[in-house]
C-alpha cells in the first residue's frame, strides 16, 4: 500500500532535500578548508621570507599559492558530494534536490573561497607596498596585481565554481557508470574545466589567448562569459549523471 503525498508536502520535502544537501556540502567543505587556508598562508609567508633572504622579490608570490584554491575545490568536489549521498538518501532526498543542492553549494563555495583568497592577496599587496616590492601578477588575466581585489575575487570565484562542479561530476560519474564509461565521461568534464580556466587568463593554468589577434588578453566580458558557459556545460553533465543515479527504491525524481 503506497502513500500519496500532496503537492505541498512534496514541494516542502524537495526544498528540505535541497537545503540539507547544500548545507552538508558547503559546511563540510569549509570544515576542511579552514586548515587549507592556514597552510597556504603559512607557506606563502615562508616562501616570501626565503625569496627575500636569498633573492629579490619580483612580483606576487601568493598568487601561485593562494591561487591553488580551485584545485583544492576540485578535490573537495570529488570527495564531499559523493560522501553526502548516503545522508541524502536516508533523508528521502531526490535526484533533483541533490543536483540543486550541489549547484547552490558550489556557487556559495566559489564566491566565499574567492573572497578569502582576494582578501589574502590584498594583505600581500599591503605588505609588499610597505616594503616597496612589486605586487604584479604574470600573466595578467582579469587581474594584474595582488591589489586588484575585485578582479581576483571574480576570477577565483569563477574558477572555483568550475573546478568543484568538475570534481563532483567526475566522482558521481565514476559512481554511476564505473571505471570504463566513467573515464569516457571524465574527458569532456576536464576539457570544459580547463577551458574555462584558460579563458579567465589567470591562475596557474593561464594561457595567452589574445596573441592570435595581437591583443594580450581576452576582453573581460568574453572571459567571464566563456567561463560561465564552461561551468554550465559541466553542470549539464552533472545533471545527466544524476538523472539516472540509483538512490533508493522509492526515489524517482
Q: Using one digit for the tens of pLDDT, what is the confidence trace for 178-236?
A: 999 999 999 999 999 999 998 887 544 444 444 433 344 568 888 899 999 999 999 99
Angstrom CA distances, 239 to 84, 98, 181, stand at 17, 10, 16
Q: What residues contact 113, with CB distance under 8 A and at least 6 apart?
A: 33, 69, 72, 73, 156, 157, 160
Q: What is the pLDDT of residues 63-111, one digit of tens each?
A: 888 889 999 999 999 999 999 988 887 777 788 889 999 999 999 999 9
pLDDT value of residue 70: 93
pTM: 0.87
Burial of 90 per CB tally in 10 Å (0-12, 13-18, 19+): exposed
Angstrom CA distances, 87 to 95, 102, 191, stand at 13, 14, 31
End-to-end CA distance of the chain: 20
Amino acid at each position: 500500500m503506497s502513500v500519496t503525498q500532496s503537492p505541498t508536502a512534496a514541494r516542502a520535502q524537495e526544498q528540505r532535500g535541497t537545503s540539507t544537501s547544500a548545507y552538508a556540502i558547503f559546511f563540510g567543505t569549509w570544515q576542511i578548508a579552514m586548515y587549507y587556508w592556514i597552510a597556504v598562508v603559512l607557506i606563502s609567508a615562508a616562501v616570501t621570507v626565503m625569496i627575500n633572504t636569498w633573492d629579490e622579490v619580483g612580483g606576487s608570490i601568493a598568487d601561485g599559492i593562494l591561487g591553488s584554491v580551485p584545485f583544492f575545490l576540485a578535490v573537495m568536489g570529488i570527495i564531499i558530494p559523493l560522501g553526502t549521498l548516503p545522508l541524502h538518501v536516508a533523508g528521502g532526498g531526490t535526484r533533483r534536490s541533490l543536483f540543486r543542492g550541489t549547484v547552490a553549494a558550489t556557487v556559495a563555495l566559489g564566491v566565499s573561497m574567492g573572497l578569502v583568497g582576494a582578501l589574502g592577496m590584498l594583505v600581500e599587496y599591503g605588505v609588499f607596498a610597505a616594503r616597496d616590492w612589486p605586487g604584479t601578477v604574470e600573466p595578467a588575466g582579469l587581474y594584474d596585481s595582488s591589489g586588484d581585489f575585485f578582479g581576483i575575487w571574480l576570477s577565483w570565484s569563477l574558477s572555483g565554481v568550475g573546478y568543484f562542479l568538475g570534481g563532483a561530476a567526475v566522482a558521481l560519474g565514476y559512481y554511476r557508470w564505473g571505471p570504463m564509461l566513467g573515464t569516457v565521461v571524465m574527458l569532456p568534464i576536464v576539457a570544459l574545466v580547463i577551458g574555462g580556466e584558460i579563458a579567465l587568463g589567470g591562475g596557474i593554468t593561464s594561457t595567452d589567448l589574445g596573441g592570435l589577434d595581437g591583443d594580450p588578453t581576452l576582453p573581460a566580458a568574453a572571459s567571464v562569459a566563456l567561463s560561465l558557459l564552461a561551468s554550465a556545460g559541466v553542470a549539464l553533465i552533472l545533471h545527466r549523471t544524476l538523472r539516472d543515479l540509483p538512490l533508493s527504491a522509492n526515489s524517482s525524481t
